[in-house]
Amino acid sequence: MRRSLAVLVAGLVVLPAGFSPAAFAETSQPRNLILFVPDGLRALKVTPETAPAMAALRDKGVNFKNPHSLFPTFTMANASGMSTGHYLGDTGTFSNSIYTGHPVKTVASQAGTVVPFIEHDQILGEVDEHFNGDYLNEETLLKAARDAGFSTAAIGKVGPTFLFDHTERTGTKTITIDDQTGAVEKDGKLIGIPLSDEMKAALSAANLPAATPGRGDNGKTGDAKTPGTTTANVKQQEYFADVASKVVLPMFKARNKPFVLVFWSRDPDGTQHNQGDSLNSVTPGINGPSSLAAIKNADNNLAQLRKALDDLGLSATTNIIVSADHGFSTISKESKTSSTVKTSYPGTPDGFLPLGFLAIDLSKSLGLPMFDPNNKNAAVAANTYPKAGNALLGKDPLKPDVVVATNGGSDLLYLPKGDRKLAGRAVKALLEQDYVSGIFVDNRLGRFPGTLPLSLLNLKGKAVTPHPAIVVNFRSYSKGCDEPTLCSVEIADTILRQGQGMHGSFSRGDTMNFMAAIGPDFKAGFVNELPVSNADVGITAAHLLGLKRKANGDLIGRVMTEAMPNGATPKGFTGTITGKPAANGLKTVLQFQRVLDQRYFDVAGFPGRTVGLK
Q: Is the same domain home to 287 and 155?
A: yes
Backbone angles phi, psi at 168, to 5 degrees: -100, 100
Q: What is the CATH number of the domain that holds 128?
A: 3.40.720.10
pLDDT of residue 185: 85
Domain membership of residue 8 (yes or no) is no
Q: Is the same domain home to 109 and 174?
A: yes
Domain membership of residue 570 (yes or no) is no
CA gap 332, 498 in Å, rounded: 5
CA gap 182, 191 in Å, rounded: 7
Is the pLDDT at 109 greater than 90, yes or no?
yes
Q: Is the same domain home to 189 and 173?
A: yes
Reported as a single tens digit per residue, the pLDDT across 452-477 is: 999 999 999 999 999 999 999 999 99
Domain membership of residue 310 (yes or no) is yes
Burial 469-485 (b: 16+ CB within 10 A, else e): bbbbbbbbbbebeeebb
Q: H or E element: which one contains 53? A: helix 52-60
Reported as a single tens digit per residue, the pLDDT across 417-446 is: 999 999 999 999 999 999 999 999 999 999
Range 488-498 average pLDDT: 98
Q: Is the same domain home to 453 and 431?
A: yes
Range 549-576 average pLDDT: 96
Q: Is the same domain home to 346 and 305?
A: no
Q: Is the same domain home to 291 and 342?
A: no
Could you list the residue range(s) of the whole structural domain that residue 434 is in? Answer: 331-502
pLDDT of residue 23: 32
Q: Is the same domain home to 418 and 289?
A: no
Strands 402-405 and 410-414: antiparallel
How far lies 406's CA from each of 207, 218, 373, 403, 597, in Å?
42, 23, 12, 10, 32
Q: Are the CB atoms for 600 and 68 separated by under 8 Å?
A: yes
Q: Are the CB atoms for 373 and 97 separated by under 8 Å?
A: no
pLDDT of residue 96: 98
Domain membership of residue 227 (yes or no) is yes
Reported as a single tens digit per residue, the pLDDT across 45-60 is: 999 999 999 999 999 9
Domain membership of residue 29 (yes or no) is no
Domain tally for the chain? 2
Amino acid (one-letter) located at 341: V
pLDDT of residue 57: 99
Domain membership of residue 372 (yes or no) is yes
Beta-strand ranges (E) seen in 318-420 are 318-323, 329-332, 370-372, 378-379, 391-393, 402-405, 410-414
How far lies 473's CA from each of 20, 513, 521, in Å?
35, 18, 38
| Nearest Cα residue to 171 out of 148, 144, 147, 198 | 198
DSSP H stretches of helix in 170-232: 197-205
| Nearest Cα residue to 436 out of 356, 510, 492 | 492
Sequence-distant (6+) residues with CB within 8 A of 390 are 97, 113, 115, 356, 359, 372, 373, 374, 403, 404, 405, 406
Q: Is the same domain home to 416 and 517?
A: no
The band of 188, judged by pLDDT with boundaries at 50, 70 and 90, is confident
Q: What order do you get walking across the sheet with 476-478 strand by strand? A: 476-478, 488-491, 329-332, 501-502
Domain membership of residue 613 (yes or no) is no
Q: Is the same domain home to 461 and 512?
A: no
pLDDT of residue 397: 98
Is the pLDDT at 588 greater than 80, yes or no?
yes
How far lies 411's CA from each of 96, 449, 462, 536, 560, in Å?
10, 20, 21, 25, 31
The residue among 502, 519, 539 that closes a domain is 502
Amino acid (one-letter) located at 154: A
pLDDT of residue 187: 77
pLDDT of residue 28: 56
Q: Is the same domain home to 314 and 364?
A: no
pLDDT of residue 18: 29
The residue among 563, 584, 606 that closes a domain is 563
Is the pLDDT at 150 greater than 50, yes or no?
yes
On the CB side of 536, CA atoms within 13 Å amount to 30
Domain membership of residue 4 (yes or no) is no
Q: Is the same domain home to 322 and 335?
A: no
* Of 28-37, 239-248, 474-483, 580-589, minimum mean pLDDT range: 28-37
Q: Structure pTM? A: 0.95
The residue among 464, 486, 502 that closes a domain is 502
Q: Is the same domain home to 161 and 267?
A: yes
CA angle 274, 278, 279 (to 5 degrees): 80
